[in-house]
């Protein structure tokens, strides 16, 4: 194992505030020497030793446990020391100072995990999952982050990477024998292989998007004609009177946002202007923003009613395929309908009333389902940058397919595949820049 660092870092790894136990963590080449001073002898690897932690003058700071994890079998891959004392901010601070006197320096946020990454203990996606696990706001999000930390996501990326490399080898072999290139590239097996990689990628992208929603929350854009009941629905879901409800058509002109938590799953609802052609300048701006909002949403929630539903479906047609569609037939109290739910094509239809609340529980359940809650095996957490990277891979694969199908341009296709491979490698960190690492680890908490 290559150790990239020569200094020894230390931090309080437990949360601030009074607690039963608090932990100071040390990592680096100086850890064994610090352990020897604190314990009075060399600790046995991976054994809990009861120790009296003393300051430089021999004064007792605290009594607690000392554990030594020699390199490389430790979290960071370096020599690691864990000092467990009483969970008092004052005592832990004294203990940390003592460790620094003995040669350690204060760790930066995320520096332990960064060292674990640099020493090959974790890849980048796994390291990010550590932070996501700590920050998880729901059981589902924590479970997903744990899966990513265990390498579920990284292994899928690796499988895809291998398929991509096999395809590249195939095409580059054709380029290396130019006299046979045309025949080689015309081989339908290459096209099929590319298609197979493309569908493997599409599946991974879907899973990553679900993982992203679990992490970041589900973005829902509420759309529909003026007066359909969009603001009323937002208010009913948010339980406040944030949006302005008005019986005159066209009131909600700006985009209103509301952050909700459904059983710990984060939702961001955006109430948009009614989508209709209008001469009113201000309202037209609202319509433009509504369309923008739709482009960045995970879910388009169309609010309509029994009378207008068929016509309103047109609002959903221009949307990208990956946006989930929900059609809410509102005002069932007025129309004497019963709340129910059914799947029609790619959309979920729900009958409800924003006014009485009938049917809204099914809507909440469906939104939770779309956010990835309750789904079982194979769910992993992901970040926006992972999804963006996978989308780049998809674009490069499409370009490669295009190059092959049209002019049998093997060189171009190979170049696209090379870039696809690079974008994929950014997820796990086989390609990464210092800026990226700084941004990722800088957002960690200290001591992790
Ligand atoms: P928006 O323009 O789509 O935001 O619609 P609003 O939420 O402002 O509602 C327009 C009108 O429809 C208001 O008078 C609401 O009280 C009424 N409304 C909204 N939802 C319901 C519902 O479920 N039942 C009934 N009867 N009226 C509703």
Residues 6+ apart with CB under 8 A from 31: 8, 68, 78, 79, 80, 81, 104
CA dihedral 129, 131, 134, 138 (to 10 degrees): -50
355 marked as binding residue? no
Q: ipTM of this model? A: 0.98
448 residues of the chain, pLDDT tens digit each: 444 558 999 999 998 888 999 999 999 999 999 999 999 999 999 999 999 999 999 999 999 999 999 999 999 999 999 999 999 999 999 999 999 999 999 999 999 999 999 999 999 999 999 999 988 878 888 889 999 999 999 999 999 999 999 999 888 887 776 666 556 666 788 889 999 999 999 999 989 988 998 888 888 999 888 899 998 998 888 875 554 455 455 544 456 777 877 777 778 888 775 555 556 665 566 666 667 777 778 899 999 999 999 998 888 877 877 789 999 999 999 999 999 999 998 899 999 999 999 999 999 999 988 887 765 666 899 999 999 999 999 999 999 999 888 776 788 899 999 999 999 999 999 877 788 788 888 888 877 8
State which of 241, 245, 353 you would mutate to test the pocket of ligand 1, scoring each by most atoms of that ligand within 8 A of its C-beta: 245
pTM for the predicted model, two decimal places: 0.76
CB of 251 within 8 A of CB of 226? yes
What residue ranges define each of the domains in the chain, with the CATH number in brackets? 9-122 (3.30.1360.120), 139-214+381-428 (1.20.120.430), 219-370 (3.40.50.300)
Looking at ligand 1, which residue's alpha carbon is closest to its atom 8? 245
How many whole angstroms from 303 Cα to the centroid of ligand 1? 10
Looking at ligand 1, which residue's alpha carbon is closest to its atom 2? 227
DSSP 8-state code for residue 30: T
Phi and psi, residue 307, nearest 5°: -75, -40
**Spatial distance between the Cα atoms of 214 and 372, rounded to a whole number of angstroms:** 6
How many whole angstroms from 259 Cα to the centroid of ligand 1? 21
How many whole angstroms from 247 Cα to the centroid of ligand 1? 7
């Amino acid at each position: 194992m290559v150790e990239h660092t020569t200094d020894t870092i230390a931090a309080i790894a437990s949360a601030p505030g009074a607690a039963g136990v608090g932990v100071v963590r040390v990592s680096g080449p100086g850890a064994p020497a610090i352990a020897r001073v604190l314990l009075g002898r060399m600790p046995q690897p991976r054994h809990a030793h009861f120790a009296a932690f003393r300051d430089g003058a021999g004064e007792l700071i605290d009594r607690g446990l000392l554990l030594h994890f020699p390199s490389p079998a430790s979290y960071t891959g370096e020599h690691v020391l864990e000092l467990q004392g009483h969970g008092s901010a004052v005592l832990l601070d004294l203990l940390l100072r003592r460790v620094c006197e003995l040669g350690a320096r204060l760790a930066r946020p995320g520096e332990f995990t960064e060292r674990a990454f640099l020493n090959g203990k974790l890849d980048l996606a796994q390291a990010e999952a550590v932070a996501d696990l700590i920050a998880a706001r729901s059981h589902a999000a924590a479970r997903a982050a744990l899966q990513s930390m265990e390498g579920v996501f990284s292994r899928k990326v690796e499988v895809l990477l291998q398929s991509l490399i096999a395809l590249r080898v195939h095409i580059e072999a054709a380029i290396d024998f130019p006299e046979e290139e045309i025949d080689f590239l015309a081989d339908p097996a290459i096209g099929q292989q590319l298609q197979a990689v493309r569908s493997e990628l599409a599946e991974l992208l879907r899973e990553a998007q679900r993982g992203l929603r679990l992490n970041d929350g589900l973005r829902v854009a509420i759309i529909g004609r003026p007066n359909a009941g969009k603001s009323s629905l937002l208010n009913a879901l948010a339980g406040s009177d944030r949006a302005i409800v008005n019986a005159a058509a066209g009131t909600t002109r700006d985009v209103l946002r509301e952050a909700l938590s459904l059983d710990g799953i984060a939702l961001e609802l955006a109430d948009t202007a009614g989508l209709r052609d209008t001469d009113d300048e201000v309202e037209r701006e609202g319509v433009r923003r509504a369309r923008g909002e739709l482009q960045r949403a995970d879910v388009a929630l169309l609010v309509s009613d029994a009378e207008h539903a068929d016509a309103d479906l047109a609002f959903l047609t221009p949307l990208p395929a990956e946006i989930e569609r929900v059609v809410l037939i509102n005002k069932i109290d007025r129309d004497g309908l019963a709340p129910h739910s059914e799947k029609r094509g790619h959309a979920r239809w729900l009958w409800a009333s924003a006014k009485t609340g009938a049917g809204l529980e099914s809507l909440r359940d469906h939104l939770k389902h779309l956010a990835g809650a309750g789904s079982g095996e194979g769910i992993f957490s992901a970040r926006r940058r992972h999804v963006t990277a996978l989308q780049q891979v998809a674009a490069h694969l499409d370009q490669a397919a295009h190059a092959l199908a049209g002019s049998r341009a093997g060189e171009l296709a190979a170049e696209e595949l090379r870039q696809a491979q690079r974008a994929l490698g950014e997820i796990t960190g086989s390609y990464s820049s210092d800026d990226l690492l700084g941004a990722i680890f800088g957002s960690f908490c200290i001591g992790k």
